[in-house]
Amino acid sequence: MRIGIPRALLYYYYYPLWKTFFEKLGCEVVISGKTTIDLLDKGIKASVSEICVPIKILNGHVLELLEAGVDYIFLPRMMSIRKGQFFCPKFMGLPDMVRYSLPGAKEKVLFPNIKSLSDDISDEKLYYDMGKTLGVTDKDVRESLSGARKVWNKFRSFSKKGYTALEAMEYVLEGKLPEKQAEDIGVTIGLMGYVYDVYDDLVSMGIVDRLRNMGVKVMTFEMMDETMLDRELDHMKKRLFWTFSNKLLGAGYRFLKDEGIDGIIHVTAFGCGPDSLIGKLMEIDSEEYGKPFMTIRVDEHTGENHLQTRIEAFVDMIYRKKTKCIKEA
Ligand code: SF4
């Protein structure tokens, strides 16, 4: 049986878990290709215009998997991974949106409801119903998840050593160790952004590699401990409703306080409601901390040259300020 997994949204956080799980059940896993302009165009045509760019991209990936003739497409309904917090509503409505708007998708989407108290979503009870659709036993589901959980934990531990989600995936799934960064100019940037924005090269235009090629070190929220991210929000009267937005904001506040972080870049996709709130909070607080902060808002038409110029100017400003301070000291 061929199970399609779109290379979009939480693919960048849970793929090692899902791939291992399905493979242990004896399925063949098919992932869609990297996001291209053509794929984005197809996604745009299949989406309502006001929806955010990452969902348009997701639609493009689902269409590609449908064209590839997979038996099922795995698109879980991500509800909650924290008590009293939820995923952005677009995640919760995603299976319905896809099933009723993309021709041929209705019978093919597998959508277990994911509700958990932590980032670990490998509780077998969440997947038993889906197992029945696939014709496997509860025992098969349990045993496959047990192996998948180990792989995912290894993936997360590796990320927390300072590797990007893509590097950690390559390491746990292919045994490939990341290459060492060639140059280091002594500048570290805290990069705020959802994994599906930061690691999709069409959305972020390869921002991690661009920064590293300039000799800049990069820190993202998945490289940090979840408890620490949560603690960073203790001063707020209440948390935001959306867990991944809380993770981003927690990382942002850590970056503001951490003297090892020289500046913050927030990558956000056009049409994201939660990000407009986070961006504003960071804009206000970064002034108070005197830390350079820049927002990169990407839409369907953002040009690469424009992005490169902005990043270079931002890094250059930080580098000059830093080297001037060192000389004066
Ligand atoms: S958090 Fe923002 S970018 Fe992500 S799905 Fe929701 S609206 Fe879209």
| Sequence-ordered strand ranges (E) for 103-229 | 109-110, 113-115, 187-192, 216-219
The angle at the Cα of 96, spanning 80 to 28, to the nearest 5 degrees, equals: 80
More confident residue, 250 or 238: 250
Neighbours of 302 (CB within 10 A): 17
> How many whole angstroms from 53 Cα to the centroid of ligand 1?
8
Residue with token string 């909650």: 80
> How many whole angstroms from 79 Cα to the centroid of ligand 1?
14
Cα distance between residue 257 and residue 187, in whole Å: 16
Neighbours of 58 (CB within 10 A): 29
Using CA positions, which residue lies closest to atom 6 of ligand 1? 88
Cβ 183 vs Cβ 210: under 8 Å: no
Handedness of CA 242, 248, 252, 253 (dihedral sign): positive
Residue with token string 């990452």: 54
111-134 per-position pLDDT tens digit: 999 999 999 999 999 999 999 999
- Which of 272, 299, 300 is the pocket-test mutation for ligand 1 (most atoms within 8 Å of CB)? 272
Residue 229: name the closest of 243, 214, 209, 212 by CA. Answer: 243
DSSP state string for 189-215: EEEE--HHHHS-HHHH-SHHHHHHHTT
User: What b-and-e string marks burial along 76-99, b requiring 16 or more CB atoms within 10 Å of the CB?
Assistant: bbbebbbeeebbbebbbebbebbb
Structure tokens, 6: 């779109």
Counting from 1 in the atom list of ligand 1, the atom nearest the Cα of 89 is 6
* Residue 93, pLDDT above cutoff 90: yes
Cβ 76 vs Cβ 93: under 8 Å: no
199-247 per-position pLDDT tens digit: 999 999 899 999 999 999 999 999 999 999 999 999 999 899 999 999 9
* Residue 329, pLDDT above cutoff 70: no
pLDDT (0 to 100) of residue 298: 84
Residue 122: name the closest of 106, 141, 139 by CA. Answer: 141
* Residue 49, pLDDT above cutoff 90: no
Could you tell me the domains of the chain? 2-159 (3.40.50), 181-328 (3.40.50.11900)
262-305 per-position pLDDT tens digit: 999 999 988 899 999 999 999 999 999 999 999 998 877 666 66
Counting from 1 in the atom list of ligand 1, the atom nearest the Cα of 197 is 3
Using CA positions, which residue lies closest to atom 2 of ligand 1? 272
Q: Average model confidence (pLDDT) for the chain?
A: 94
The CB of 314 under 6 Å from ligand 1? The reply is no
> How many whole angstroms from 264 Cα to the centroid of ligand 1?
20
> What share of the chain has pLDDT > 90, as a percent?
86
Residue 112: name the closest of 100, 123, 97 by CA. Answer: 123
Burial degree of 285 (CB within 10 A; 0-12, 13-18, 19+) = middle
pLDDT (0 to 100) of residue 271: 85
* Residue 96, pLDDT above cutoff 80: yes
